[in-house]
Structure 1
Amino acid sequence: MKDHQKHFEKVWKTVSEEKQKMDAATDSRIWRRIEGTIRRYHQRKYSWMTVAAILVPLFGMLFFYKDFDLKSKETKNTFPTLVLQTNEVSKTFRLSDNSVITLEPCSKLSLDKNFGKKYRNVKFQGKGFFSIEKDKSKPFIVDAGDFKVEVLGTKFLVDEKSEEKKYNCLRVK
C-alpha cells in the first residue's frame, strides 16, 4: 500500500475506535480519495486484462502461423508425390518433360507433384544415367544429398553410392 493509503486507513480506524465525528468535508474528501484509489486499481487491472486478452491470442497466432508456414514449406520440399525405385534390376523411366532416366539396381528418384511446371527438381539416391531434354528456362536439378547437379539439357551419370559421390557428364554429338 502507498503512504497516503496507509494514512487514510490510520485516520479512519482512529476515528472509528474513538467514536469521534469528522466534519462532513473531511469525511467526503477521505471517501473520494478511497473511491478514486479503488477505481484506479480496477481500471489498471482491467487495462492489464485487456492487454493480455489481445496479446496472448496474437502471439499464439504468430507462433502457430510461423510453425504452420515452416511445415508447409517442409511439405513442399520434402514430400514428393512420385517415387521411382529399382530393386534388383535396372529400369528406365521417361519423365513428363521427355527426359529419360535409367536407374541402376537399388536406386531411387523422387519427383515433386509439380515437376516440369515451374521447376525440374528431383531427389536422387543410388546410381543412374540421366538423358535430360533441353529447356533453358527450367534447369534440371538433381539433389543427391551431399551434392547437386544442375543442367539445362545433356546426358550424365550420377553415382551417389560411391565413396567419391561423383557425376560424369557425357559428350553428346
Structure 2
Amino acid sequence: MENDRTNIDDELLASYMAGEANADDTAVVEQWIGESEANRRYFEKLKVLWENTGRVAPHQEANVDVDLAWNKFKQRADREITDEPVSKAKGRHLYFYLSRMAAVLVVGFVVYLVYQSLEKSPEANQVELMAKAVTKSDTLPDGSQVALNVNSLVTFNENFSETERSVSLQGEAFFDVVKDDKKPFVIKTKDVIVTVLGTSFYVEAYDSLNTVEVGVEEGVVQVESYGELVLLGAGERISIDKGKQKVSEPDKYNPNDIYWKSETLIFKNEPLAGVFATLEKVYNIKINVENPRILNCRLTGKFYKESPAHIFEIIETNFELTSVEQNAGFTISGDGCE
C-alpha cells in the first residue's frame, strides 16, 4: 500500500486540488486515487486540509485573518500530514509545495481586497460650489469664473485642471472660462455636455424644467445632447426639449436671460410682447393685457436693479398706458400701437 502512495508526485496532487491540473494529469490522479484504499484516504486527508486552511475563494467577501489562517495551515500540516506513513523527505516536500500554493492564494486574496476597495471608492474627492437662496460667484482652480443662480450646484474633482477641466452642473450657471487649447472645459448635466476652450456663456439645466438652455455671450461652444452636436457662436442660444429629446435651431442670445447675474434688463426696440414675457420670467409675475394692440408697442431702455412697478411707470409714460398692480401681477390697458 505504501508503495502505491509513493508512485504519485505530490506536486501533481496539490495541482489537482488547486484546480490547475490539465486533462492528462487529472486522469493520472483520479486513476491513482482509485487504485487503493490507502491512496484514497491519503488524498481525502490532504483535500480536507487544503479546503480548511489553504484555499481562498477570491469571489467571496469575508473578513479574513490572514495570519491566523497561515498559522492554522502550518500547524495542521505539521500534525496531520506527518501522521501518514510517508517518507520524511516526501512529507516535507509536499508541505513546502502546499505552503507555496497557500501563500500565492493569500497574496491573491489581498490583491482582490485592494481591488474591491478601489473599485468601490470614489475616483477622487469632490469639491462642491452651491447657491441656495441667493446667487453665488466663485473662482475655479484654473482661474475660470462661475456664477451660480439660486438652487444650483457645481461639482468637480479636487485635482481639477491637472489633467482635465470638467464640472457637473445642477441648476443654472454662467461661466467665464480661461482659454486653454490643450484642456477643453467641459460642463456635464443629465441631458447635455457643453465643451469649450475659452468663452463666456450660460447653461440653464434645472431638473424641474422641461428644457435646458445654453446661451453664448462670447466665443464658441459645442453642445452635445441626445446624439446631436451643435456649435454655438457669440450671440446665439439653443434650447433642448428633454421630453421630446430634441435640440432646437439656434436663435438670438438674450442677455436678459442672465438677469439673475447682471441684475440688468436691456431692451432694444423690443415689442412689449417680448418685454412682458421677460418681466414675467425675471420677477415671477403674471401680466394681463386688455388690448392686444399694446403688445405691438416697442421699448428701448436699460434697467438696473429696478422694481417691476418702476418699469411699468416708464412703459405707461412712453405709450400712454395704464397699469394696475393686483394679485402678484399687473393688468395693462390702453389703446396700444399699430
Q: Using structure 1 for the length normalisation, give the TM-score.
A: 0.64
1:107 Cα deviation (Å)? Answer: 0.4
Query: Aligned ranges for residues 50-129 of structure 1 at < 5 Å?
Result: 50-71=99-120, 74-76=122-124, 79-80=125-126, 82-129=127-174
The two structures, once aligned, show a CA RMSD in angstroms of: 3.1
Listed one character per residue, the Cα deviations across residues 99-148 of structure 1 (whole Å, up to 9, x for unaligned) are 22111101011232222333222222111111212111211111223432
Tell me the equivalent position of 2:216: 169
Which is worse superposed, 53-62 or 38-47?
A: 38-47
SS of match in other structure, 1:70? helix
1:158 Cα deviation (Å)? Answer: 1.3
Matched AA of 1:69 = L
Matched AA of 1:86 = A
Partner Cα separation in structure 1 for residue 164 and residue 200 of structure 2: 19
Give the 3 Å change call, closer, same or farther, for CA 113–124 of structure 1 in structure 2: same
Unaligned runs of 5+ in 2: 2-34, 40-83, 220-233, 235-338
1:169 Cα deviation (Å)? Answer: 3.2
Matched AA of 1:38 = V
Partner Cα separation in structure 1 for residue 113 and residue 212 of structure 2: 39
1:84 Cα deviation (Å)? Answer: 1.2
Partner Cα separation in structure 1 for residue 95 and residue 186 of structure 2: 58
Give the 3 Å change call, closer, same or farther, for CA 5–89 of structure 1 in structure 2: closer
Give the 3 Å change call, closer, same or farther, for CA 146–54 of structure 1 in structure 2: farther
Partner Cα separation in structure 1 for residue 144 and residue 167 of structure 2: 12
**Larger % of strand: which?**
2
Q: Which has the higher contact order (CA 8 A, sep 6+)?
A: 1
Which is worse superposed, 37-46 or 86-95?
A: 37-46
Matched AA of 2:214 = Y
Unaligned runs of 5+ in 1: 7-35
Matched AA of 1:157 = Y
Tell me the equivalent position of 1:14: none
Tell me the equivalent position of 2:59: none
Matched AA of 1:91 = K
Query: Aligned ranges for residues 20-31 of structure 1 at < 5 Å?
Result: none
Q: Percent identity?
A: 24
Q: Using structure 2 for the length normalisation, give the TM-score.
A: 0.36
Partner Cα separation in structure 1 for residue 199 and residue 163 of structure 2: 19
SS of match in other structure, 2:211? coil
1:171 Cα deviation (Å)? Answer: 4.3
1:46 Cα deviation (Å)? Answer: 2.4
Give the 3 Å change call, closer, same or farther, for CA 71–5 of structure 1 in structure 2: closer
Give the 3 Å change call, closer, same or farther, for CA 138–48 of structure 1 in structure 2: same
Give the 3 Å change call, closer, same or farther, for CA 5–115 of structure 1 in structure 2: closer
SS of match in other structure, 1:63? helix
Partner Cα separation in structure 2 for residue 113 and residue 104 of structure 1: 22
Give the 3 Å change call, closer, same or farther, for CA 153–4 of structure 1 in structure 2: closer
Tell me the equivalent position of 1:9: none
